Amino acid sequence: MDELDAIQTSLASFTQRLDEVAQNQFDEIRKCSFFDPIPSAALQSIARSTSIKTFKHAEKITTEGDEINAFYVILFGKASVQVRNQEVAVLHSGECIGEAAFFAAEATSRSATVIAEGEVIAAVIRKTDIKSLGGENMTYMDKALMNALFRKLQQANRKIEELLR
């Protein structure tokens, strides 16, 4: 009996640690502006489909030409966006990378290389997990992505205005 009790205690402790990790992950995602349009109840489900990855300074987050199989939301840090080795933008917390994975029905390749400037912590949402969200959660993700795309469009418009001056 003592051995069985020890196993059950160990299992309960492990389960509690898993719950704490999941809660910490949700808390970090909840802080990110990208996820603001998503109610906490829906975000709990989305967070379970999300992994968190840390990139070191100068580490490539994405590589131009690679197939898009996931998109990233920067939770902390900033990253340089480069096309043909030329910096075209800098992304900060709350901005996303590779959102075409969410919209594209077929395989799509990355249009830029994104490199961490200092440490970057990002939420990673795989294309296969996106498809499994379904229903209301998918609607909330659509809204978050549309907001992100709108902000990118505004930035592009500002850049065009600067170039035309």
What are the Cα distances from residue 101, in Å, to 8, 23, 24, 66, 125? 42, 26, 26, 12, 9
**pLDDT tens digits, one per residue of 128-156:** 776 777 788 888 888 888 888 888 888 88
pTM score, whole prediction: 0.76
**pLDDT tens digits, one per residue of 29-42:** 888 888 888 998 88
In whole angstroms, give the CA distance from residue 122 to residue 165.
35
In whole angstroms, give the CA distance from residue 52 to residue 36.
18
- Is 21's pLDDT higher than 50? no
Of 22, 13, 46, nearest in space to 145 by CA: 46
